[in-house]
Structures are given as structure tokens and as C-alpha cells.
Amino acid sequence: MNTNLEYYKFFYYVGKLHSITLAAEELNVSQPAVSQAIRNLERELGTTLFMRTSRGVRLTAEGQTLYGYVQRGYETIREGERKFLEMQELTSGEVCIGASDMTLQFYLLSYLEQFHEQYPKIRITVTNAPTPETLKYLQSGRIDFGVVSTPMETTKNMHVIPVREIEDVFVAGRKFEYLKGGKLSYKELEHLPVMCLEGNTSTRKYVEEFLLGEGVVIHPEIELATSDMLIQFAKRSLGIANVVRDFAQEEIDKGELFQITFNKKIPARQFCIVSDDRVPLTAAAEKLLKLLQHK
């Protein structure tokens, strides 16, 4: 059986309103068009669905059974349409973002605040992970897009938009003030107590590759999970911390830490927004993406 689904739409309204006339008015069609649709449906099903009464029409036993299913199906479709329109109009929906501690704290957070003020009914989910894991989440469709830091390994389906430069530095506390005032060579780091992030981060990878290009291999005395902890260790002069400057800026301004000067700067890298062409974006995700790219 390949019944025209439009017939069921007419059937639903006649059954709901108990009137062919009222159904025609609701659907904005002629009364004969509704009557013809009901006759066609009855002919295809091989049964009578309505009986005429002095007050309009009423469902037969077979019609009542069919109406129960059609009502649930049609009203579910209407509810789906309503939810869809809410998502399009940004009165409901969800955005799933991947971000590292660093990109969340020094780039994404302020934009999320703006977005939430504009669209308070949109749910925002942030999956917090280093860049390599964030890219895996993107490929698997777990997130709408990621905000990550270079370096990164992307695929041909990924679209990368740089949004802000960041600077990798080495900072130290009072115990190492003898290093102030001059320009060190990176080779000297091999003889100093260096502290770094744990291995699976873009920051650690980027700095180690740069130092390797300078002929320097470091063996950190302390490895920590977060840059905030590196700052706390550096303030207590437990070693020289390699961090993105943003993490240390407040302590540098207060004089609790100082940036070590080298004879060559580590080249700047970027925060980037990464999306995947294979992951369709909701209206809410597209709106947030545009906000993040606004300068």
C-alpha cells in the first residue's frame, strides 16, 4: 500500500474537528477537496472511516483505531516542526564545543558570556581537552567545532581559522633573578631546572620542536598537567616554567615572576577555530561561530 500521506493530513483534521467544513477552513482548502481526499483514503483502505451525523461527522470503529495512530504521528511531526523552528530562531538548542584550558580561559570564555547573554535558552556544552583530543572529538562528531592552539595535525575535511596570536615564554621566580638583564642562549636551558606541561599538549610539542631546531634537548625536572600549576611552582622558585605568556602575565605585572630573555624569540603561534565539513552545524553553532570570528 502506497497511500498519499496528504490524505492522512485531511483525515486528521476531519477526525479532530468532527467536521469536513471546519477541516476545510483550517486547511484553507475547499470543502469538496477535503471530501474527495477522505473518499480516496477510504477507497484505498477499503473501509468507511466516517459516518455523517446531524452535527457533522464521527469516526467509525475502524476510523477511530486509525485516528489514534495518525493523531500521534501527525502531532509528533508538528512538535518536531515547532522544535526545529525554535532552533532556527535560537530560542532553544545546544552548541557543543571542544577547547583546551588555555583557549577557553584566554579566548573563548568572554565570547561564551556574550553569546549566553544574547541567547540564554541555548545550552552550551564545553568538552575540555588538549588540542589532539579535541580534533579527535571533532572527527567523531562529538563536538560542533573546536577552539585549539597550533601546532596541530588536520585532515583535508577540516577548516582552520586563526583568531589570535600567542607567545611561548620561560618564566622564573626570585631564586633565579641572577638570570635577569642578559640574553641567554637556549643551550643554557639544558643546565637549568626546567618545568613543562605533560607530553600530550600542543604547547609542549611546539616548544620542544623549536628547541630541537636550536640543537637543544631539555629533560624537564617537573612535568605538570596544567599551566596554572606551573605558575604556582614557578612562584615558589621550584624551577623555570615554560608557559604561554597569558598565564604568567598577572604575576609578571606584580613582580612575582619575570620573563627570561633569550637571544632569539620562540615564533608566535595561534589560537584557531577548527570545524569539519562533514559535521553539519546547527543554527546556534553557526551563530556562535560567526561571533567568534568577529573582530
Q: Please report which confidence band the pLDDT of residue 196 belongs to, taking 50, 70 and 90 as the band edges.
A: very high
State residue 101's pLDDT score.
Answer: 85
User: Domains plus CATH for the chain?
Assistant: 5-88 (1.10.10.10), 94-165+270-293 (3.40.190.10), 168-267 (3.40.190.10)
Listed in order, strand segments (DSSP E) in 167-295 are 168-172, 194-197, 222-224, 240-244, 258-259, 269-276
Is the pLDDT confidence value at 106 over 60?
A: yes
C-alpha cell at 217: 634537548
State residue 86's pLDDT score.
Answer: 63
Q: What is the mean pLDDT of residues 34-40?
A: 92
Nearest to 9 by CA among 47, 31, 32, 41: 41
Listed in order, strand segments (DSSP E) in the chain are 50-53, 56-59, 94-99, 123-128, 145-149, 158-166, 168-172, 194-197, 222-224, 240-244, 258-259, 269-276
Residue-averaged pLDDT of the chain:
90
Q: What is the pLDDT of residues 219-277, one digit of tens each?
A: 999 999 899 999 999 999 999 999 999 999 999 999 999 999 999 999 999 999 999 98
C-alpha cell at 90: 535560537
Q: What is the pLDDT of residues 117-126, one digit of tens each?
A: 988 888 899 9
C-alpha cell at 140: 567523531
As beta bridge partners, residue 161 has 273
d(CA 240, CA 222): 10
d(CA 256, CA 234): 9
Residue type, 210: F
Selected residue with higher pLDDT from 6 and 195: 195
Kindly tell me the number of DSSP H helices and DSSP E strands found in the chain.
11, 12
pTM: predicted TM-score of the whole model, two decimal places = 0.67
Q: Please report which confidence band the pLDDT of residue 91 belongs to, taking 50, 70 and 90 as the band edges.
A: low
Distances (CA, A) of 15 to 57, 130, 135, 219: 8, 57, 52, 78
Query: What's the Rg (C-alpha) of the chain?
Result: 32
Is the pLDDT confidence value at 82 over 90?
A: no
Selected residue with higher pLDDT from 192 and 121: 192
Q: What is the mean pLDDT of residues 135-146?
A: 92
State residue 295's pLDDT score.
Answer: 54
